[in-house]
Amino acid sequence: MTFDLQNPLPATFSSHVNTKFRLAEAPSTELELIEVSDQSAPHHVNFSLVFRGPHQPLLPQRIYALEHDALGRLDLFIVPVRRAPEGLEYEAVFNRVNEPSRV
């Protein structure tokens, strides 16, 4: 199952904080979702996901196919953002304008 990311919302991911996402190309490499940061406004969706992975390998910024037990497979552009004692942290950012509905 592939998760449709057409119009994701922070709530889509909030209930999955502290769960694991596996890299499809290397299933033994897991990223844990550690934070969902929501900066959305009424007509603007803006949020980010922060994942923590192992110290090695460093994943360069690009699109990765991730697999999650509840969400299925999703393709995310992730960027390494910091090296923490617990592991490497990566961020995926979502930013879009919500068009007002037309009647």
pLDDT at 7 over 80: no
Comparing 1-5, 9-13, 52-56, 64-68, the range with the smallest average pLDDT is 1-5
In whole angstroms, what is the distance from residue 77 CA to residue 98 CA?
21
What is the per-residue pLDDT for 9? 83
Residue 102's pLDDT band (cuts 50, 70, 90): very low
pLDDT at 63 over 50: yes
List all residues 6 or more positions away from 64 whose beta carbon is below 8 Å from its beta carbon.
Answer: 23, 24, 25, 75, 76, 77, 78
Over the stretch 14-44, which tens digit does the pLDDT of each residue have? Answer: 999 999 999 999 888 999 999 999 998 888 8
